[in-house]
Amino acid sequence: MLRIGLTGGIASGKSLVGRMFTDLGAHVLDADEIAHDLLQPGEAVYEEVVESFGSGILNADNTVNRARLAEIAFDKRKPRIYELNRIVHPSVIERQEQWMEEIRRRQPDAIVMLEAALLLEAGLRKRFDGIIVVTCTPQQRIDRWAERFQIDPDTARAEVTRRMMAQAPDEAKIQAADYVVDNSGTPEQTRMQVEKLYENLLARVKARSA
């Protein structure tokens, strides 16, 4: 089995690239989806996050208001993203390891990917056989964020800037990468890169089992 980390800065297009790899046959898991599950009422992570960040992050039905939690975590005056990651990341890692092991038992020659924005920042590099970093231009991040959340460009720029403060710059991510997907062009251009890269990964898997 080949374990690949898929990462990139905010609004770089990680999810788009992840879906393309899924279409080709890779097993892709989004760390955000794991975190979302862990923040459901009844989960130990949920209890610890509410205890640390207060009941003000909860909706009327006691579910976590993720936008409110993000606002606190990425507050420029007193960011608490590292505190949040300290609570959530260990359980995310445990879940993704279980997921990968289940796939390995069923399909020993599988290509599995974890999509995670803070993969490198969390010190997970050594857990993977390779790292893919997705990049795009700074303006594209802003435009995509504005389109995704239907907000004006100035608001999008402020939010992207705020969240990028918790992430390593693209230059550092690229330096740590084994592969880079440039998502600044058309979706077709991105797909061509992904298809070529997938062939490379398949060749690595075959070489291992030869």
**Going residue by residue through the chain (210 aa), what tens digit of pLDDT does each one get?**
999 999 999 999 999 999 999 999 999 999 999 999 999 999 999 999 999 999 999 999 999 999 899 999 988 888 898 899 999 999 999 999 999 999 999 999 999 999 998 898 888 888 999 999 999 999 999 999 999 989 999 999 998 988 888 788 888 899 999 999 999 999 999 999 999 999 999 999 988 876
- Please state the φ and ψ torsions of residue 106, each to the nearest 5 degrees: -80, -35
Q: How would you label 59-82 residue by residue, b for 16+ Cβ within 10 Å and e otherwise?
A: eeeeebeeeebbebbbeeeeeebe
- CA-nearest of 105, 22, 172, 38 to 50 is 38
Q: Which CATH class is domain 2-209?
A: alpha beta
- CA-nearest of 181, 136, 182, 138 to 157 is 138
Helix (H) and strand (E) counts for the chain? Answer: 9, 5
Q: What pLDDT was estimated at residue 18?
A: 97
Cβ–Cβ under 8 Å, residues 153 and 146: yes
Residue 7 exposed, middle or buried by CB count within 10 Å (0-12, 13-18, 19+): buried
Q: What pLDDT was estimated at residue 210?
A: 66
Q: What pLDDT was estimated at residue 55?
A: 95
Q: What pLDDT was estimated at residue 28?
A: 97
Q: What pLDDT was estimated at residue 129?
A: 95
Collapse the DSSP code of 114 into the 3-class scheme (helix H, G, I; strand E, B; otherwise coil) and give the result. Answer: strand
The answer, as to whether pTM is greater than 0.85, is yes
Cβ–Cβ under 8 Å, residues 35 and 66: no
Cβ–Cβ under 8 Å, residues 139 and 11: no
Cβ–Cβ under 8 Å, residues 177 and 168: no
